[in-house]
Amino acid sequence: MPGWLSRKKLTGSVPFTLFFFLLFFLTCANAFNEAPSLSKAVKAGTIPSIENRLPPQPVIVTPFDKIGHYGGVWRCAYTGLSDLVGVRRILYEPLVRWSPQFQVVPNLAESWEMDESGQIYTFHLVKGIRWSDGEPFTVDDIMFYFEDILFNKELTTSIPNWLSPDGDPPKVVKIDDYSFRVEFSKPYAIFLQELACPYAMELVTKPKHYLKKFHKKYADPTQLEQLIKKRHATNWVKLFQDVSGLRHAMFVSSKYPSLCAWITKVPAPSKRFVMERNPYYWKIDPEGNQLPYIETVVHELVTDPKTIVLKAIAGEIDMQGRHLGSMQNTVLLLASEGNGKFRLVPKTLSASVGILLAPNINHKDPIIKAIFSDKRFRIALSYAVNRTEINKIVCRDKGTPRQAAPLKDSEFYSASYEKAYTDFDPAKANALLDEMGLKTSKDGKRLRPDGAPLQISLDVVASMSGWVDTAEIVASNLKKVGIDAEIKSETMELFRQRTQNATHDIALWPGDGGLECLLDPRWYFPYSSESLNAPLFGLWFQSKGSRGEEPPPEINDQMKTYSDILKTVSSEKQRELFKKIIESDEKNLWVIGLVQDPPDYYVVSKRMFNVPKRDIQSWIYPNPGPIHPEQFSFEPKRFGVK
């Protein structure tokens, strides 16, 4: 179905809608409006007039509540460079995007067609969009990404699975300056959904005109060598990767061109990381006002995430969800909501569980690896954990004990997997551990097959207090069946390093993918290195076997089944195939789910409007990006906006 037809179906009845057409009366009357700061820049001659900055047919965003006011500083907080994923969620401008209803709608691409086989996709860009430095955004930028970055073996050692689902890279053809075609060798049923995910912004964040001087194919050799030396890079590849990486491009460089609503002015990790409005932003409201409404976004650097909660309670946060989501924080925020400074906007969680246990079956210690790889041990862990206690203490009895199975709202829901092995039954746990031959010492502690004490660590991110509380309960439960468990509470950086290198024992992490099962299947089989129960198997899958470790037959079968799903256009057939993966999960319990969290919240200043009454919490749906932060606005100056 052509993109414009599907767009009408998806967005025609919602109050918050993207339109892709030229308002004739606006252009005839030259009735576009701009922020006062940009009017001053036009008068000073530093930027062109608004008619020469906007595309001929600007993208129209209908505000959620009402037309906004220009100005204001959106105050947030962050903990450093490793915490910039929260900012990425604000700067969300992929080729196609998620609507607030979690459906694919147009964005930079105003329309598309897919052939009947599901192999060929043709996209048509909005004409006249410009990068933040005023240069045109065209198909040449997308071709640069594919031909000169993705298909360049020096820069890209392996093409990500989402762009080569059958192992072969797609053929990308330029039709004209604003149309291109992507051809896969086999059907690719979820390509549009993949394009709406945050990682797909790679396609539209590589401005050719800017990056050419760092690329061996285009740069003058002498000048390129000078740039390598100036930036202390080892070679041109390292230079190019450093300057074009998303973190550097979006948050560290103030010169890198962008298509997003705000661009970096004071780079991270400054005490005050500042982004200011993009004068060439290509969206307007129905009255012809160029977006964004808000002038500046400021993230204040803090060392302790707990400080962010205190700042929110004090009214020093205008709109943020990151670092505010634990049940403990929710209780504090609910108790303080009546102070008149903020309101709480709930987020429906797409995760299957708030936290799961991921025993590392790629463990470096062969004995521990053998223990963790035995499904009886994983099932024993599940029986040993008191989910009712976790729900009562961590979730204040508002959660739901369950496995890391698809949610009830998912088309892949499995009632039997949801409840498998969730009873609190230490006797069954002990029986399974005994059956494995894990003997107990005189003091009741389990022994490894080599006679050494069975000691395991629970790796958890220290800044997430609710996760640490959960780890403490799990450790206490495991000790009651003889497993000597200690908590390894660590920084996010160290946690990432240990889990990506498979040097951890059991990791605690949210059960992402409860709704978006096909897009984020990391807990249904080792899909990527983010599958912390088997990061090396996931790496093997993503690299087509060139890196990582080859998995055993049963996991390999899951991988093959998922690959078959990607080639299957029929939704009914997709469900049949995914059921096989779920059946293997239920049988083997690769990860142990604990409790589905109740909704958590954004803190939203009472001065801010155009924020919907509810949102979705997910990385695949990088909230709040899909609800269009560019149309958030503050009440006028009398409410404190400067």
pLDDT above 80 for 10: no
Q: Which residue has the tokens 């074009």?
A: 244
pLDDT at 417: 98
Q: What's the pTM?
A: 0.86
Beta bridge partners of 363: none
pLDDT above 90 for 368: yes
pLDDT above 80 for 391: yes
pLDDT above 70 for 636: yes
Phi, psi torsion values for 492, nearest 5 degrees? -60, -40
Phi, psi torsion values for 480, nearest 5 degrees? -75, -15
pLDDT at 24: 42
How many CA atoms within 13 Å lie on the side-chain side of 83? 24
Confidence of residue 639 (pLDDT cuts 50, 70, 90): very low
pLDDT at 327: 81
Confidence of residue 30 (pLDDT cuts 50, 70, 90): low
What integer is the mean pLDDT of 23-33? Answer: 59
What integer is the mean pLDDT of 18-39? Answer: 66
pLDDT above 50 for 16: no
| Cβ atoms within 10 Å of 443's Cβ, excluding its own | 8
Question: Mean pLDDT of all residues in the chain?
Answer: 92
pLDDT at 8: 28
Return the minimum-mean-pLDDT range out of 62-66, 145-149, 462-466, 601-605: 462-466
Query: Is the torsion defined by CA of 255, 152, 224, 81 positive or negative?
Result: positive
Q: 527 and 539 in contact (C-beta within 8 Å)?
A: no
pLDDT at 7: 29
Query: Across the chain, how many H-helices and E-strands are there?
Result: 22, 25
Cis status, amide bond into 426, omega within 30 of 0? no
pLDDT at 406: 97
CB crowding 139-172: b at 16 or more within 10 Å, else e: bebbebbbebbbeeeebeeebbbbbbbbeeebeb
User: Helical H runs in 374-462?
Assistant: 375-384, 387-393, 415-419, 426-435
pLDDT above 70 for 157: yes
Phi, psi torsion values for 266, nearest 5 degrees? -115, 110
| Superfamily of domain 355-596, CATH level 4 | Dipeptide-binding Protein; Domain 3 (3.10.105.10)
pLDDT at 260: 98
Q: Which residue type is seen at 131? A: W
What dihedral angle (degrees, nearest 10) is formed by the CA atoms of 504, 508, 514, 520? -30
pLDDT at 369: 98
Confidence of residue 343 (pLDDT cuts 50, 70, 90): very high
pLDDT at 328: 82
| The pair of three-digit structure tokens given for residue 169, joined into one six-digit string | 């890279």
What integer is the mean pLDDT of 202-222? Answer: 97
Residues 6+ apart with CB under 8 A from 200: 94, 95, 162, 194
Q: Chain centroid to CA 519: how far?
A: 11
pLDDT above 80 for 209: yes
User: Could you read off the pLDDT of 478-489 as tens digits, one per residue?
Assistant: 999 999 999 999
pLDDT at 305: 87
User: Could you read off the pLDDT of 300-334 as tens digits, one per residue?
Assistant: 999 988 899 999 999 999 999 999 977 888 889 99
| The pair of three-digit structure tokens given for residue 527, joined into one six-digit string | 């899909």
pLDDT above 80 for 423: yes
Confidence of residue 637 (pLDDT cuts 50, 70, 90): low
Residues 6+ apart with CB under 8 A from 146: 172, 203
Residues of the chain with pLDDT > 90, as a percent, come to 85
Separation of alpha carbons 454 and 439, rounded Å = 10
What integer is the mean pLDDT of 211-228? Answer: 97
State the chain's maximal CA–CA distance in angstroms. Answer: 89
What are the domain boundaries of the chain?
355-596
